[in-house]
Amino acid sequence: MRLILIALCTLGVMAPAYADAVFTEGTSNQPNEQNILFNGDHVGTIISGVTTHSGTAIQFSSTQTLIGTGGQSDVDAQGASINNITFMIPGHTFLDAVINPFKPGADDDLMITVVTNTGTSPVFMYGNDHGNNFLTITTSGGEVIDSVTIDSASGFQGLKQTRISGISGVAPVPEPSSILLLGSGLALLFLLIQKKGRRLGFKT
């Protein structure tokens, strides 16, 4: 009996923890989503971009030399296709991400692994070699994401248009369109109050 208990305890220690990551092919916009920008060219095995609204630093790393460029992030490998890349937010977690590993060398050769506060997800495989491969990554039980890794044996041309939302410790910044809508609503409310005040004989 004692041996059975020891064996069960050992299995419990050895069993991997699986994060409840949810993978949805295509783009599924998330609340307070932010694009990632590179101001100028960034080159190295570790490079950093910043989010559009909060200016939070996003780190991309690889065993290869990466090049980050563009107003809407475009990460390539120097002189080659990307075979592995991980992105994370140093000192923070996030709730979801949209990725686009562009044009892998073979179908179903994009292998995605997500690390959350509850463990590491099983590998999700997908992809077609014709072009865009948008993937939305969320979680199912309130977990937070620490990092996302993309591996590809054949390599892909670049990681494009990465978007992130739900960054820990960062207050959501309204989209410019939301601010414009709020301003328009307040202006309309002011005009209505002013008009009603005139009807009732009040000076405004």
Each residue's pLDDT tens digit, 43-81 = 999 999 999 999 999 999 999 999 999 777 899 999 999
**The token pair that represents 53 in the structure block:** 């609204």
What is the CATH architecture of 15-173? Sandwich (2.60)
Q: Where are the domains of the chain?
A: 15-173, 174-204
Residue 147 reports pLDDT greater than 80: yes
Bigger pLDDT: 68 vs 41: 68
Between CA 114 and CA 149 the distance in angstroms is 6
Each residue's pLDDT tens digit, 160-200 = 999 999 999 876 555 455 455 555 666 666 666 766 666 66
Task: Put residue 146 in one of left, alpha, beta given phi > 0 → left and psi -120 to 50 → alpha.
Answer: alpha
Please state, for a pLDDT cut of 70, what percent of the chain lies above it: 75
**The token pair that represents 163 in the structure block:** 């978007």
**Residue 193's pLDDT is what?**
72
- Helix H, strand E, coil C: the string for the chain is CHHHHHHHHHHHHHCCCCCCEEEEECCCCCCCCEEEECCCCEEEEEEEEEECCCCCEEEEEEEEEEEEECCCCEEEECCECEEEEEEECCCCCECEEEECEEEECCCCCEEEEEEECCEECCCEEECCCCCCCCEEEEECCCCCEEEEEEEEEEEEEEEECCEEECCCCCCCCCCHHHHHHHHHHHHHHHHHHHHHHHHCCCCC
Name the pLDDT band for 1 (thresholds 50, 70, 90). Answer: low
**Residue pair 19/7 in contact by the 8 Å Cβ criterion:** no
Single-letter code of the amino acid located at 174: P
Between CA 70 and CA 50 the distance in angstroms is 11
